[in-house]
Amino acid sequence: MRVFVTVVDLGSQSAAADHLDLSRPVVSRYLAELEEWVGARLMHRTTRKLSLTAAGNETLPRCRQLLELADDMQAAVDVPSDAPRGLLRISVSTSFGQAQLAAAVTDYVRLYPQVSIDLQMLDRTVNLVDERIDLAIRTSNDLDPSLIARKLTVCRSVLCASPAYLREHSAPQQVDDLSGHNCLTHSYYGKSMWHFTCEGEEVSVPVQGNISANEASTLLSATLAGAGISLLPSYQAGVFVQRGELVRLLPEAEPRLMNIYAVYASRKHMPASLRSMLDFLAERFTDEPVWDKDL
């Protein structure tokens, strides 16, 4: 059943064989044995792709349930002192994943070498259940109330530009000046309006520019190349400001603050690996993150 589910999830027998560390003939044999046991063909096999038969569509969710039950049985007999183990699938934005989470999980697996991490760098909201994600790191002020969330830290933004851009354009003196600059925008956050707090008052400024992107790492690269002014997360841009590769603009104008959460689907039968990862991230990322100290 685990072979069958893995073949479906990865889309091919060869990919499943690599993932499960089995030979291709063994994978084929296990699929044949499952079909013989079920009494029906589960897959249409072609050279290009695999597709489920009607019997396969009926069998797949039941196999998932049985595998989950088997994992729960193993967890139930573990003594509390057992070290976390198994695979954790974590979804995270490309920018936070590259700038902060990759180093964090590297330190985590040094502590818990029996845990494997599958990082899914996705700049979209994932369905935890459908996409089999154990933990999602999300930046938001409006989370789905059906999910369980643990706040990790805050996400501050930095208004910045490269020295090359500022040599060709006068630096903005107030937030309204941003309307006259080439502003590089995020497709999902502040596409045409940037929000600030200035002297205790909320201020919104319409912005436009000739480059937008659906993830912050691309905007960072364009900003470093001198393309324009960006509003970038401090966890990503802070190090470039400290090195002088980017110049912070209008420090008295505070961009809208957001929160960074660890989100998961259920507290029921939480594996030790997920629980330990949550505790590890909560201890590592605090309300006063280290990347903001010198800004």
pLDDT of 77: 62
Q: β-strands 148-155, 247-248: how paired?
A: unpaired
Residue 100 has pLDDT above 60, yes or no: yes
**Domain boundaries along the sequence of the chain:** 2-77, 86-153+259-286, 157-256
Q: How far is Cα 101 from Cα 99, in angstroms, rounded to an integer?
A: 7
What's the CATH number of domain 157-256, 2.40.128.260, 3.40.50.300, 3.40.190.290, 3.40.190.10?
A: 3.40.190.290
- Looking at every residue in the chain, the average pLDDT score rounds to 90
Q: Mutual orientation of helices 24-38 and 2-10 as an angle, nearest 10°?
A: 110
* pLDDT confidence band for 78 (50 / 70 / 90): low
Burial class (CB in 10 A: 0-12, 13-18, 19+), 165: buried
Give 95-102 contacts, CB < 8 A, sequence gap 24+.
Answer: 95/215, 95/216, 95/217, 95/220, 95/233, 95/235, 95/236, 96/137, 96/139, 96/233, 96/235, 96/236, 96/260, 97/121, 97/137, 98/217, 98/236, 99/233, 99/235, 99/236, 100/235, 100/285, 100/291, 101/137
Confidence (pTM): 0.69
Q: pLDDT (tens digit, 9 = 90+) per residue, 7-23? A: 998 888 888 888 888 88
Q: How far is Cα 158 from Cα 161, in angstroms, rounded to an integer?
A: 10
Q: pLDDT (tens digit, 9 = 90+) per residue, 152-200? A: 999 999 999 999 999 999 999 999 999 999 999 998 887 889 999 998 8
Calculate what percentage of the chain has a pLDDT beyond 90: 67
Q: pLDDT (tens digit, 9 = 90+) per residue, 204-240? A: 999 999 999 999 999 999 999 999 999 999 999 999 9
pLDDT of 47: 60
* pLDDT confidence band for 75 (50 / 70 / 90): low
CA angle, residues 121, 125, 95, in degrees to nearest 5: 35
What's the CATH number of domain 2-77, 2.70.98.60, 3.30.565.10, 2.40.50.100, 1.10.10.10?
A: 1.10.10.10
At the fourth CATH level, which superfamily is domain 86-153+259-286? Periplasmic binding protein-like II (3.40.190.10)
Fold matches, 86-153+259-286 and 157-256: yes
